[in-house]
Chain A
Amino acid sequence: MSLKILKAGMLDSIQDMGRFGYQQVGINPTGAMDKYAAAIANILVGNNSHVPVIEMHFPAATIFFEHPALIALSGADFSATIDGNSIPTNHAVIVNKNTTLQFHSLKNKSRCYLAIKGGIKLSKWLNSYSTNLKAEAGGFSGRRLLKDDIIELNSQFDHTNQHDENDPIAIGFKTLPWQANEDFGIEDTAQLLVLHGAEWNWLDKNSQEKFLRNPFFISHNSDRMGYRLASEPLQLITKTELVSSAVSFGTIQLLPDGQLIILMADHQTTGGYPRLGNIISVHLPMLAQLKAGDKIQFKFTDHPTAENLILKQQQHLTQLEIACKLRLENYIHEKGHNE
């Protein structure tokens, strides 16, 4: 039970919901950039959200399934095909053995998640499956996926019917009819809600206004560690040096040149640049799907709003999980009767 990487992608790595408890010794949490899409991909195939998935950037890997599997793609749409036939994102798809998953063009967003029912067979490093690229640890050999890697799976999907000529599975795959509605949409300008940071008042009045009024562009110098933004430079009223302290996924820091950086999943555990704010948790997936050149705008919010959005998002995921489990059980049950 395995899949094989026929061609490496630009940056495909195994990720889960992150590695916590080791920031005290400088080991950063890593984990999926878009945890929401990673959770949805898992939920669609009946996994729990913490099962490791493959996070892909475009151009993405070409993947060969040596055994039947139930898979789902969520997040970015990279125009996926199985043996040349299009498959949609946000659907569970049964793929037969000896089929090839390929990605052809970037339609929208920037990170696509592949979940496989039963999950990938790996051992945890420090309690998580996430790849820590810097420490070269966790995930698959602590690195991105390369050509000829063979990724073992925990189980194969046995509910395919090889002998039924009318079963679409005979041509290599079958898209199951239900769909997860994961779309938060990406507008022309992504408006991100922000909570005030400890050094917000270090900005001069004019810069505070600019922060809220001006658009910020994601620069090419952006990756899993952080997004550098380009805009009119901002200025501090103080030259106070900060001693290092902990930072977080979503922390907006002011660099010495007056530009901003937003820390992402692979951020350092600590930092010493002024913290102007933090993107709220629920907006991190949206941010994670932006790419160089995209425009964002900041708007302040408060704790009740940020926390209620977390509750709402979780509610949505829970409902989806219940619905998907039910549909999947029914599907497998019906297949059983037909055979």
Chain B
Amino acid sequence: MSKSRIFLWVASVFVGLWLVAPTLVVIPMSFNEQRSLAFPPKGFSLRWYENFFASSQWLGGLLNSVQIAILTAIIATVIGTLAAYGLSKVSGIREAFGRNFLILPMLIPSVIFGVGLYGLFLRIGLVGTLPGFLLAHTVLAVPYVVVTVGSTLAAYDVQLERAAWICGASKPRAFMTVTVPALLPGILSGAFFAFITSFDEVVVSTFISSPYLQTLPVRMFSGLQREVDPTIAAAATLIMITTTAAALGSILSQQLRRNRR
């Protein structure tokens, strides 16, 4: 191997470790015996997990997050898929406008959205409510569904739909029996994306949450600003497990698509 190639590998391994390794320190920390975040952790115990599941604030946060993420995934997937499908039927300015309009929430710093939504929610009484969270998270999740389903649609053979019509299926029926199943890998992948987007969301949630309704990341965020509590490590590990599972789900859905070829 040439000298420059060795340099390339050393640099890349450094970058790779930097990307992946730091996150892993969270896991041993969650099994710490002591009430400290000092590294390396001392001893092994499950007390922080016990603490997590015994605390109504932590466990409640987790349950809120799961509930909101599932509902967000469902709503965002349905309206995002319909939107991506509708956009695929037009071209030119209408298509470009629609697509860019729908991915705006991806592009504008979420702190601006968060502040604005907080202002709006104060007036209409949605701060700290389930509908408020669903609205906010769906806005953030729809762009991912539109992009993911849109890229699946780009490879979708429109002849399939025509074939279904010719076979005697009405348009809604053809959509449900042919288009949706054919797009399923992209739709599922988009749904997992939407789930993760909601489950991980902190910035906007910080603005619109109240002591009565908090998500897990918001609870972590306020916890980190106040105290040293390894329960946060347990919460972080649980978040990692959940998002990793969802990510695997998404990757497997993409695999489904490849197998069909």
Bound together: no
